[in-house]
Structure formats: C-alpha cells, structure tokens
Structure 1
Amino acid sequence: MRKGECFSVRKLAVLFVLVSVLAFCAPGFAAIKETLTVGMSSDAKSLDPQGTNDTSSSSALIQLYEPLLEIRKDKSMAPVLAESWEQVDPLTYKFKLRKGVKFHNGEELKADDVIFSLHRMTLPSSAPVKTYGDNIDPNGFEKIDDYTLLVRSRVPMTAFLGNLSHSSAYIMNKKAVEEAGKNYGNAPIGTGPFKFVSMVKGDRTVMERFEDYWGEKAKAKTLTFRCIPESNSRVIELETGNVDLIYNVPYTDVKRMQEEKKVDVVLTPGMNITYLGLHTQKKPFDDPRVRKAIGMAIDKEGLNEVVYDGYAVVPQGPFLPKHLYYPSNPEPFKYDPEGAKALLEEAGFPKDYTMTIWTNDRKERIDSATIIQAQLAEVGIQVEVQILEWGTFLERLKSGELASFIIGWAASDANPDPDNWIGGPFHSKNAGPSNRVWLKDAQVDELIDKGKVTPDGPEREAIYTQLWNRINELTAWVYLTTPDFPYAKGKSVKGADDLYRGLINRLDQVYVEQ
C-alpha cells in the first residue's frame, strides 16, 4: 500500500469514529441508564427454582434461569434451551439442546445439566414443586450425547411439555448445585440474561448483565429488585425517581397516577385467584357446610369495589377464563348472609369460636381481611386479623399450622392447560407446599389424575367439568377476587408496555432512556 493510501484509510477510520460519536450524542439517539430498579412488595424467599413456588421468588428466577421451552402469549410453544424436540412414543420425548450456551460460571450447557435439573424435581427435597416433578419418571432419562437426551413421563400425559415451561423446570448447572449444597438458593447459577450478584433479605436483590448470554443481551447493565413492602412507599419511590418500575400498584391510586405526567400505569388481565383458605382437616372448617356458609356471608362484589376500586372480578370456580374447558356460563355464587346463618346453625358452628385470619403484609389482603372480619361478625363469627412477613407466612402455611388465611394462586406463564394450574393447590399429595387448605378428597384426586392423561377432546372436557363442580361443591376455596394487574413505570422506561405475566416477566429488554 502506498503512503497516501494508508493515510487516506486512517483518515476515513477516524472520520467514521467521529461521525459515530456525534450520531450517538445527537438529539433522538438516547443513552441507556446502566441500572434498572424495580420496587417489589416482598423479596425472593429462595433463588433455587425447586426450593420455592411463590411469585416473588419467581420474579427473580425468570431473570437468572431458562427452561427447555416456553409458552408464549399466543399460547404457542417456543424453543429456549432446547433447539428442537419430538415425541418418540407415548411416554418418551427427545430433546436437542442449543450448542454454545454458557452458564454464569462459564461452563457450557450439556445434557448432564438438564438430566440433573429435571431429575432433581422428582426428589423429596423439591417438595414445593412436587406437583410438577411427579409427572417425570425418575428413572426415565437417557443421554444420547452432550446435546441430545430422552426424558420419559410416568404415564402418557397431555400436559407434559407444557409443564416443562414452569419455573420448577429451569435448568441449573449440575456442578454449581452440588458444590453449593443447601446454600444453593443463595448462590444460583443459570443461563439467563442476568447473573446473580447479591441478595440482602428484606432489602434488595442485585443482578448484572451476563455478557456471554447466548441470545440478545440485556439492555441494562444492572437489575436491582428492591423490597418495599408498604404500597404507598413504593408509589412515592417511583414518583420521586428512586425506582423505575413497580408492581402491585394500589388500586385506589390507579386513577390518580394515570393523570400524572411523570409515570405510566398499565393494567393487564389478572392471572391469579385470591382466596380465603380454610384448613379442611381442622375443626370447625372440616365441615363443608361451614366453609360454604362463610363464603355465603362475604359480599365479594362489594369487597372488590372497595379494595380493588372495581378493577377485579369475582372468580366462579377453581381455574381462570384463559384455561381450556372453562365453563361457558358458570353459575355465580350468591351473597346470602341469612342463608349463611341458617347453614352455620345446621352445622352446629360453636358460638364461642374466634376465627383468626392470617395474611401477609400486602395492603389489599389486609383490607380484604378487615372487610371479611366485619361481614362475618354479622352472621355471628368473631374474627381476629393477624399479619405475617411473607417468608414466615409461607412456612407456617406449609406446616399446616394456619387454619384460615388469605393468599393467592398465580399462573407463571400463558399455559392454557388446566393441569398445569389445578394439581398443585387441590391434589392431596401436595397438602402443605401448594395445597394449602389440605384438601384430601378421593374424587378430586382421581379427576386430576385422569385429566393429566386424557387426550384433549370431549372426554377431557367432561373430566374438568366434573372437577370444577366437585371443588365448588366442597368449597375448597372461598374465592375472593381475580384482580387486574396494575404496574407503573417512569415515562423514560422503555420495553415495559406489555408485562402480561403479572409479577413474573423477563426484564432483559426493559431499560431506562436517558
């Protein structure tokens, strides 16, 4: 190359860099703030995807881990860590893994990690997600090569692949889990777009962008989940710019915040049922008549107007309108305090009994408990309300200690199959970890088991219709609400216009524009 040509090339290179810098700084080309901060009502109980099944933990888990496949908003099944899959026979599924996927510790994803993670779901130590692990044959794994494996179901199962999209089926690094032992929930290693940095209980969880992520890199360099239990404090932190995004916006603040210039409020359809749970194995709630009477004594429509400012509907049964086989015209529950009094009298409800309603420190649940306290007093039931910290609340529910409580059951994704939803809270084998009312009914168990293995069609629809009716007949839950899900973000927050999965959304493409 002649000297002049070399000089020209260098000049062009410098000019290119200069133009690029000027373009970046020009109006209309905004920089991205390094940190995205999210205000949460409670922090993660554990960062082990098989050590917990609560939504606050799942909010963090989805940033750190990935499943083999996922169910999208349109209910289609899409590949994630599995490049492809096929059903080999009624029980066996073959998965081919993506090559070159790295864990946060630098190791490459291999079939051994997948087998380890899915097999771990079947162990007694994974009790919180037992309902999902029970579908997998613990002896049904076969490694073909580093990127190909077979997984077998215990029985032919319609919802098998859909269940592998659940957070309990997130893939972990075998070596990391074995090295960390019981401390793994505080030292998570996944393949997700963010990797774990630190967690201070009751304060914050910090993650940072994983630079070796196989897919599109996260926009923000740091993702911080701040624990701000008091709802008004979360709103103030957003409005003053100390956090960028908050979940669980107080329903009574939605209209006011919609008129503000600094923030946007987004309402998405609810994907959960909040219910009053009554321990079905403890007196006096072991009598279905008592449970039914308590349900009749609560004005649920009125409760939703007061607590949720009308941004809610009263559930009519044990699954959501998004689920397959939801009844076309479900029979509504009636508010009937006089009928409740008569039923309590018939059941011999003890006059001197004081009922304690336990819940966690979430405003809507506390307000609901207070309203229920007043309404049950009108039918002769004295009620006390007790508030617990989230982690303590879950532990005491799991042990079966609490006789009456308010909590919710939420969908973790767009999976329309009712089996993914209904087995956890109602099958007797899950009493404690997810069946928090300790329902033990042979007919319910049989119908859930049949629904798993019956192909989609009229026969399966009939099974879920029977299941719906039986659960309602038993008043297994006193349904309170399916509220819309309001979240709010600063005006400069981009990529967060459709966080349709409630608390459990990937935030890697959400960022703050500077």
Structure 2
Amino acid sequence: MACAMALGASAANAKDLSIGLGSEPSSIDPHYHNLAPNNALVRQVYEPLIAQGPSQELLPGLAESWKPINDTTWEFKIRENAKFANGDQVTVDDVIATMERVPNVPRSPASFAQFLTGMSFEKVDDRTLHVKTQTPAPLVPNMVSVIAIVSEECAKNMSTEDFNAVKCDGGSGPYQFTEFKPGDRTVMKKNPNYWGPAPEWDTVTYRYLTNGPTRVAALLSGDVDVIENVPPTDIATLKANDDIAISDTLSNRVIYLHMDQFRENSPFITAKDGSPIKNPLTDQRVRQALSMAINRPAIAERIMDGAAVPAEQVLAKNFFGTSKKLEPTPYDLNAARKLLADAGYKDGFKLKMHGPAGRYTNDTQILEAVAQMFTRLGLDVEIETMPPSNFFTRASTGDNGQPEFSLILAGWGAGTGETSGSLRSLMGTFDKSKGSGAANRGRYSNPDLDAKLNEALKAVDDEKRAALLAEASEIGFTDLGIIPIHYQTNVWASKNNIDVQARADEYSVAAGMKSK
C-alpha cells in the first residue's frame, strides 16, 4: 500500500515532470553532435522546419507548409505566429543563418552537414524560403527535418560552449533550457511564447541515470516519474506491477560493428605474438567470417531478454528503402573458420575491441558476448569500454583527425526515418566537403554503393527511390561495410498515472507524456 501511494501521488496534479535518461547528452548545442541523446533534448527547444511524429512521419513544424515548385526548388512557408523564447518573430533570416552555421561547428564528432549537401537557401520574403538543389532532390523535407532552427543571433554569435551555458534564448519549441549540468541533469521550463498548444508540464528535469538498475530503482522509489531504456531483465517484472505502465515500440536503431578499413596496419590488431600484420579487416572474407561468428539470436534472447530483433541492414524491413532480400547472417562457426583460413588467418590474430559504456542497452554485455564469439573463432580478443563522450571523440577523430580504433561497437538511429541518411553516414565514402560518411568510423568505401545511393537521392518517384536504396543496402551489407547485430526495442516505464508516447527514434519527449 505504501508503495502504491509513493508511485501514484506526485504526478497526477503536478506540473513538474522528472525523467530518468539512459544516456547522457554530450552537448545541448543543436548542431554540435548528431547523437540521439542530444537530439532528443534540443528539438524540444529548437524546432526543425518539419517535425517528426512517433513513427518519424513528417509533420508541420516551424514551417506550416512545404511543396516543390519545380524539379529543383522546394518552397517552405514559416508560421506567422512562430516566435522564439525571447519574443522575437521567427523569420527566414533565422533559418538561413542556422543552415550556414551547421557545417561550421568546430570539433563536431558527427556533423549535420551531410543532410544539407547540395542545397542552397534563398529568402523570398520573411516567411517564404526556397531551398534549391542542382538536381531533383525529393528527400529535402526529410533532410531538413533533422536540422534544429535557432535565432540568427545565436547562429552567428554563439559557440558550443555558449549553448551549453544556456546563453541562447533563440529557440521556438515548447520548452526552453534553464540548466545543463554534465554528469547530473538538464532542466527545461515551458516556453511562454510557443506557437502551439501549451505543454502540460511547467518544468521538466532530465536526470542522467545511465545505470539500468539505478533507473528502475529511481522509478520505483518515486524519485522520477518516467524512465527510458528499461533494462530488458526488468521488463516482465515492471509489467506485472500495477503501479507501473509500460510503453514500447520497435526502434529505428541498429547496433553494429564498425571496422577499420582504411589503414594497412590497424593500431589494435597484431599477430598473436604481438608482431605487426597487414590489417585483416580490409579483406571481405575476414569481415564475413566475423559476421558468421556472431550468434545474433542468442544475443537477442539472452543478452537483450527478447527486447531486440536480429539485424541484417541499417533499418528493419518496415521502414522505407530497406531490402526485402537481405537476411541476418546465419551463425556458422565452422564456415567462419574456413573463411578466416582462406583469407590467410588460419591461426587467427590478436584484436582489441572498443565501445561506449552505458550508451546503448546492455552495450558492455553485448561487446563481451561478441568478444567471446570471436574467441571461439580463434582470435585473441581484449575489450575496452569508456564513457560515451570520450569514446565517440576518439572513435571519430582521435588525436590526428582520424578514427583511432580498429573495431568498435556502436549504434545508429535513422534520423530521417528512411535508409538514405543511415547509408550515407555510416558507409558512404568519407568526404567532409560533400557531407558523406559523417559517421563512417571505419572509412569503408565502395564506389558502387556511392553511385547507387546518389542515384537514389535524385529519384523523384518514391517506388523507384525505394528500390534503389534497397539495392544500395544490398551492395553495402553483402560486402560487410559494417556488421549489423540487432535492432533495439524502445521501452519506457512510468508511474501508472502517466501515459508515455513510445517513439521509434527513442526520444523521451515531454510533450508526448500526459497525466491520466
């Protein structure tokens, strides 16, 4: 009885909401790092032109409407009643200043510039924006849906450090930041100038509770009202608790392995005696052997307690542009050993794998399981995990501007809700000037994939574009540009008097949480 009172008393009449996050954001600069924990917070404060719904369907955001006016021009109409938190009107000048800032954020671990490749922005009047492309670009609405708009003042004059110090009041979303304390919390308050329906919660506190059992304990004790990323081992118990409500949906996130495919000698790979060897990961047979050595169903059932689905590409087949032909690589240790021997590594090699600790559901346990599977293949494997912010910096740019590691565990959520952005980011040939390969931490390069992807991005017909994207997926995943492991299931738990809107993008959006 006491437990029921503790769980049910605080939220029904309250205007404050506390949410336990499974991952900590690296910044609240909306253009610094294309990372889900960052995006989930900043897009409640800095809106995109086009919003995304729970299934990543496109919805009016700052733009009340959009349409193509010819093959290479899209027109966006800014809301007449859209204002920033400081009361200033949102105009096309703010949008253009934002788009100019995006590719120029210093030290960005994963830039948003890739989404704006080939676009130019022209002001027609204060409310009318034209986005021009050199060739037909049907995905312009999808691409701009991931770019958070800030005021011209913030775009031109504020650094990442300024954003993190909550100096920018140029956001038009339902909330505005009041605190950003790394290692502790982010706090938002209701934006009094928001153009849309006022959100229910006056103040929202996001607490960083990266340890799963700690998040569950915080919910059960009443310290927080909602938790995301429920540990799979706790789902059944929480479902059986009448004081708790569960919300879930299939994620747009794939958990995968990225492999060094650009260095002749990879820094964390040697022969078993420690002597240098040619980087084996550049051999497709070795990559295939590694993929075949992974028992995906075992990881999904045992490590993820059923809250995952074995993966074969960047997105599950219900998303746009996926291949219906690809299937998860079957577990076959004998065939994997033969492939390794055929590639000249009969005795295996020594490998150190890296990953983030606490960024993804059970990420350390998954890395440990994969390491054990590679050991059975005949490799000598060591793992090292580290805080996500340190990991992603080293995995992306290291000390010399190049990815530092040989093989990493990571995850990727499809920000655009279809396959092109994921393929371009993760397996497109790295080219900063073109925005390709922004998160290609293995520097995989396949001209056939690049060509097919570029063709798809110009295809106006949806059916044709979907077919081309499927072909691009087949090229990249047959060649094992990355090794997919599984898709996560996104699970939230809340006090039973709060309804949580489950989202494919994993975002814990306060406006999507209602008291019952």
Report the TM-score when normalising by structure 1.
0.87
Q: Equivalent residue of 1:156, what SS?
A: coil
CA distance in 2, matches of 1:403, 1:249: 30
CA deviation string 1:187-229 (max 9, x = no partner): 3431111101011101101111111211111211111111111
Q: Displacement of 1:420 after TM fit? A: 3.4
Quick check: 344-353 or 219-228, which moved more? 344-353
Could you tell me which residue of structure 2 aligns to residue 131 of structure 1? 114
| Match status 1:480 vs 2:476 | no
Could you tell me which residue of structure 2 aligns to residue 27 of structure 1? none
* Residues 416-495 of structure 1 mapped to structure 2, 5 A cutoff: 417-428=418-429, 429=431, 433-456=438-461, 459-494=464-499
Q: Equivalent residue of 1:113, what SS?
A: helix
CA deviation string 1:137-170 (max 9, x = no partner): 3xxx32222222222124211211121111xx11
Q: Displacement of 1:354 after TM fit? A: 2.2
Could you tell me which residue of structure 1 aligns to residue 513 of structure 2? 510
Amino acid at match of 2:446: D
CA distance in 2, matches of 1:457, 1:53: 26
* Residues 184-263 of structure 1 mapped to structure 2, 5 A cutoff: 184-186=162-164, 187=166, 188=168, 189-263=170-244
CA deviation string 1:100-158 (max 9, x = no partner): 32212222111100111123334475661122021413xxx322222222221242112
In structure 1, the gaps of 5 or more residues are 1-29
| Match status 1:336 vs 2:328 | no
Q: Displacement of 1:501 after TM fit? A: 3.0
Amino acid at match of 1:322: N
Percent identity for Structure 1 against Structure 2: 25
Could you tell me which residue of structure 2 aligns to residue 176 of structure 1? 154
In structure 2, the gaps of 5 or more residues are 1-10, 264-278, 398-402
CA deviation string 1:239-289 (max 9, x = no partner): 101011111111111111111122112221121110122122242212111
Match of residue 357, structure 1, among 353, 356, 363 = 353
Larger radius of gyration: 1
Alpha carbons 1:62, 1:504 under 8 Å: kept: no
| Match status 1:114 vs 2:117 | no
Amino acid at match of 2:506: L
Q: Equivalent residue of 1:271, what SS?
A: strand
CA distance in 2, matches of 1:348, 1:421: 32
Q: Equivalent residue of 1:87, what SS?
A: strand
CA distance in 2, matches of 1:102, 1:437: 42
CA distance in 2, matches of 1:45, 1:254: 28
Amino acid at match of 2:201: A
* Residues 369-408 of structure 1 mapped to structure 2, 5 A cutoff: 369-399=367-397, 400-408=403-411
Alpha carbons 2:54, 2:505 under 8 Å: kept: no
| Match status 1:300 vs 2:281 | no
Match of residue 286, structure 2, among 287, 290, 293 = 290
* Residues 59-74 of structure 1 mapped to structure 2, 5 A cutoff: 59-73=40-54
CA deviation string 1:363-385 (max 9, x = no partner): 51111111112111111111112
Taking a change above 3 Å as real, the CA distance of residues 174 and 421 of structure 1, as seen in their structure-2 partners, is same
CA distance in 1, matches of 2:139, 2:156: 30
Higher helix proportion (structure 1 or 2): 1
Could you tell me which residue of structure 1 aligns to residue 132 of structure 2? 152
Could you tell me which residue of structure 1 aligns to residue 20 of structure 2? 39
Could you tell me which residue of structure 2 aligns to residue 410 of structure 1? 413
CA distance in 2, matches of 1:153, 1:124: 23
Taking a change above 3 Å as real, the CA distance of residues 462 and 208 of structure 1, as seen in their structure-2 partners, is closer
CA distance in 1, matches of 2:328, 2:346: 29
Q: Equivalent residue of 1:293, what SS?
A: helix
Q: Displacement of 1:466 after TM fit? A: 2.5
Taking a change above 3 Å as real, the CA distance of residues 130 and 50 of structure 1, as seen in their structure-2 partners, is same
Q: Displacement of 1:461 after TM fit? A: 4.2
Q: Displacement of 1:42 after TM fit? A: 2.1
Q: How many equivalent pairs are there? A: 475
Q: Displacement of 1:86 after TM fit? A: 2.6
Taking a change above 3 Å as real, the CA distance of residues 493 and 73 of structure 1, as seen in their structure-2 partners, is closer
Quick check: 180-189 or 433-442, which moved more? 180-189
Q: Equivalent residue of 2:494, what SS?
A: strand
Taking a change above 3 Å as real, the CA distance of residues 76 and 365 of structure 1, as seen in their structure-2 partners, is closer
Alpha carbons 2:114, 2:438 under 8 Å: kept: no
Q: Displacement of 1:448 after TM fit? A: 1.2
Alpha carbons 2:227, 2:493 under 8 Å: kept: yes
Taking a change above 3 Å as real, the CA distance of residues 185 and 434 of structure 1, as seen in their structure-2 partners, is farther
CA distance in 2, matches of 1:95, 1:432: 28
Q: Equivalent residue of 1:281, what SS?
A: coil
CA deviation string 1:337-389 (max 9, x = no partner): 11111111121238473212211122511111111121111111111121110
CA distance in 2, matches of 1:356, 1:378: 15
Report the TM-score when normalising by structure 2.
0.87
Quick check: 150-159 or 48-57, which moved more? 150-159
Taking a change above 3 Å as real, the CA distance of residues 302 and 181 of structure 1, as seen in their structure-2 partners, is closer
CA distance in 2, matches of 1:129, 1:457: 24
Q: Equivalent residue of 2:492, what SS?
A: strand
Alpha carbons 1:177, 1:184 under 8 Å: kept: no
Q: Equivalent residue of 2:122, what SS?
A: strand
**For the aligned residues, what is the CA RMSD?**
2.2
Amino acid at match of 1:60: L
* Residues 313-324 of structure 1 mapped to structure 2, 5 A cutoff: 313-324=309-320
